[in-house]
Structure 1
Amino acid sequence: MSEAVVDGSYGEGGGQILRTAVALSAIIRRPVKVIKIRAGRPNPGLRPQHVGAIKIIASMCDAEVEGLNVGSSTIFFKPKKLVASEMKYGIGSAGAITLLLQVAVIVAAKAEQKCSFEIIGGTDVKWSPTIDYFNYVFIPALKALGIDVKLAVKRRGYYPKGGGLVKVEVEPAESIKPLTLIGQPTSPANIISVCSQLPPEVAKRQLN
């Protein structure tokens, strides 16, 4: 199958188009070349969390990858058959674990066997969904699609050091169902307050 070429500067020119392109490439087994990666950002090119997302997806499909280094503006990704994967990856900064998992779990659901990941990085950082949003909003949405994801937060990680630890298991999905959100019943909102290396009273005060 011929390679697809994706312009990473399209739209907001951020990392989402890169992550989506690589994930879809792995699922449909079509090579992809992504150019002008994150051209719309002040620090264009791959960041550690983008490298991590691509490495995890590549581990599930034994992909050939070119240009996979921090700062790279172009990558080539050539996937093979999706198989099970067990991988540990440290982002090396407070890069968002959730943005990495956002696409990795979708690809893992199409693998033949259960996949498991252990990721170190940022769990609650700016400009990204928090790990609690991922756990209590995104994962239930995946479940409605027929994708079974189990997540355990072992340690929180914040800017600038990161260091959060999250473990994830993804079962293979027999089929992915359509998702309808129109007319869904509503439920009371819940608030989660967390703090790190501070007295528990701080987390309680944040709720008031």
Structure 2
Amino acid sequence: MESTHLSQEPKMQTNIHDCLWSVKHEGCASEGRQDACPSGVFRTYFSDMLSHREDKDQRLMVEIDGSYLEGGGAILRVAAGLSAVTGRPLRVSHIRAGRKNPGLRVQHLEGLKAIAALCSGRLVNARIRSTEIELHPGAIEAKELQVTISTAGSIGLLFQSLKLPICMAAGDVIVTVNGGATFAKWAPPVPYIQNVLLPVLGQMGYSAEIEIQRHGFYPIGGAETKIVAHPCRNLQPLSLTDVGVLKDIRGMSIASEHLQKPKVAERQAEAAMKLLRVKGLKATIESQYVDAACPGSGIVLWVHTSTGTVLGFDALGERGKPSELVGEEAARGLINAIESGAAVDNHLSDMLLIFIALARGKSAILCPKLTDHAKTNMYVIEKFLPVKFQIAEDRNTLIECSGSPPV
């Protein structure tokens, strides 16, 4: 099993030409046969070989402006995943240039290292606060990876980085994640991925599971999860333009055992169900207390419809935020998604774009609005693939794309 510890700085890259020349030259000298090692020929041969490879890399290199639109980590996640799948080297510059703390943060570096490990790739300049990185991918292989997240970084965002390349191997890919948070700020919680994203991707032939062995919350993290992905290089097109009739609303209200006495999980669930009832909507929400390294809570709601789509929304508990407000926030978000008349929620539409761009045929999804996240993802995807997204904005936004499957 390969192991990558994501809190450490990557080792400095060694210049291959210098390494090979040093070994050959010193080996000849130690045997007293300087004439047996024609330095000019040797240097010229390897210089030409490396120069040819570097020229080829430069021709195939995809250049991405990391400050484009929202200029966040999504650019890195989408670009690195496509680099691994297409085999094209990647350079991202101006990473998070407009942010308060520009450059790579820990969670971005974690995703890059995991992708590089998956495709036996080489990262250049990948370190904390770096504003430019390169990824030179190798082949994606069926393998087992062990990833360690020493912070409360989002496991959901790690999955966002890996979700495409892990299904492009010839066999199963197993990723064991030690550490991180199943619920984190500004990131999809793992139960959202399990109950909203994966069922919809399943309609395209995608097959993966995430097993939560231990939950983790901010600020300590400490989760234990396992991702198992099965090969799927033949993605089917997706058509989700009609929301249909609502079938049932379900949810999970989760809190650490530290919060069992004040009944945080029940209060989140009851507040969500109360607000949904006002709109004539009945929901079944499971309250659950889990072992965790620190106190924390969250709630995820989702609705199944007659056309096979799934809409979802989530909310995160925070210190000083009443549990009732957490439940109401999730319910209000789901109500807005339902009342929009769209077939997918905005978060889901962002996550689907990279897959419909690689599907065999034309896909169409109807979402409430075109977000900056979606525009950013389209910008990156169109840099890598010969596809063009067609957008029609009215009450909702229709996104269409004829995919370009991987070779």
Shorter-chain TM-score: which interval? over 0.9
CA RMSD of the aligned region, Å? 1.5
Which AA in structure 1 matches 2:82? Answer: L
Separation of aligned partners in 2, 1:153 and 1:187: 27
Which is strand-richer, 1 or 2?
2
Separation of aligned partners in 2, 1:96 and 1:66: 24
| Alignment-derived partner of residue 162 in structure 1 | 221
Separation of aligned partners in 1, 2:233 and 2:77: 23
Which AA in structure 1 matches 2:249? Answer: A
Counterpart pick for 1:198 among 240, 252, 259: 259
Task: Kindly indicate whether the alpha-carbon contact (under 8 Å) linking 1:59 and 1:85 is maintained by their aligned counterparts in 2.
Answer: no
Task: Kindly indicate whether the alpha-carbon contact (under 8 Å) linking 1:145 and 1:178 is maintained by their aligned counterparts in 2.
Answer: yes
Which AA in structure 2 matches 1:191? Answer: G
Matches of residues 19-98 of structure 1 in structure 2 within 5 Å?
19-98=77-156
Separation of aligned partners in 1, 2:199 and 2:130: 34
Separation of aligned partners in 2, 1:135 and 1:43: 32
Matches of residues 5-20 of structure 1 in structure 2 within 5 Å?
5-20=63-78
Report the CA distance between 1:174 and its aligned residue: 4.1
- 1:31-68 alpha-carbon deviations (Å, 9 max, x no partner): 01011112232222112221121112112211111112
- How many positions carry a matched residue from both structures? 208
| Alignment-derived partner of residue 185 in structure 2 | 126
Report the CA distance between 1:184 and its aligned residue: 4.5
Task: Kindly indicate whether the alpha-carbon contact (under 8 Å) linking 2:104 and 2:128 is maintained by their aligned counterparts in 1.
Answer: yes
| Alignment-derived partner of residue 115 in structure 1 | 173
Which AA in structure 1 matches 2:232? Answer: A
| Alignment-derived partner of residue 178 in structure 1 | 237
Task: Kindly indicate whether the alpha-carbon contact (under 8 Å) linking 2:145 and 2:176 is maintained by their aligned counterparts in 1.
Answer: yes
Separation of aligned partners in 2, 1:25 and 1:49: 19
Task: Kindly indicate whether the alpha-carbon contact (under 8 Å) linking 1:7 and 1:36 is maintained by their aligned counterparts in 2.
Answer: yes
Report the CA distance between 1:85 and its aligned residue: 2.6
Are the structure 2 counterparts of residues 187 and 40 from structure 1 closer, same or farther at C-alpha, using a change threshold of 3 Å?
A: farther
SS at match of 1:9: coil
SS at match of 1:193: strand
- 1:143-169 alpha-carbon deviations (Å, 9 max, x no partner): 112111011111111111111121110
Report the CA distance between 1:179 and its aligned residue: 1.2
Which is helix-richer, 1 or 2?
2
SS at match of 1:175: coil
State which structure, 1 or 2, has the greater radius of gyration over its C-alpha atoms. Answer: 2
SS at match of 2:166: helix
Task: Kindly indicate whether the alpha-carbon contact (under 8 Å) linking 1:60 and 1:111 is maintained by their aligned counterparts in 2.
Answer: no
Separation of aligned partners in 1, 2:107 and 2:143: 18
Separation of aligned partners in 2, 1:144 and 1:71: 39
Which AA in structure 2 matches 1:147? Answer: Y
Report the CA distance between 1:205 and its aligned residue: 2.0
Report the CA distance between 1:102 and its aligned residue: 1.3
Report the CA distance between 1:198 and its aligned residue: 2.2
Are the structure 2 counterparts of residues 195 and 12 from structure 1 closer, same or farther at C-alpha, using a change threshold of 3 Å?
A: same
SS at match of 1:127: coil
SS at match of 2:209: strand
Task: Kindly indicate whether the alpha-carbon contact (under 8 Å) linking 1:38 and 1:73 is maintained by their aligned counterparts in 2.
Answer: yes
Separation of aligned partners in 2, 1:154 and 1:12: 34
- 1:61-92 alpha-carbon deviations (Å, 9 max, x no partner): 11111112122111110111211131121222
Which AA in structure 1 matches 2:237? Answer: P
SS at match of 1:53: helix
TM-score, normalised to structure 2, is 0.49
| Alignment-derived partner of residue 345 in structure 2 | none
Structure 2, gaps ≥5 residues long: 1-58, 271-407
Shifted more, 16-25 versus 188-197: the winner is 188-197
Task: Kindly indicate whether the alpha-carbon contact (under 8 Å) linking 1:3 and 1:32 is maintained by their aligned counterparts in 2.
Answer: yes
SS at match of 1:167: strand
Shifted more, 191-200 versus 113-122: the winner is 191-200
Task: Kindly indicate whether the alpha-carbon contact (under 8 Å) linking 1:48 and 1:92 is maintained by their aligned counterparts in 2.
Answer: no
Question: Relative contact order (C-alpha < 8 Å, sep 6+): which is higher?
Answer: 1
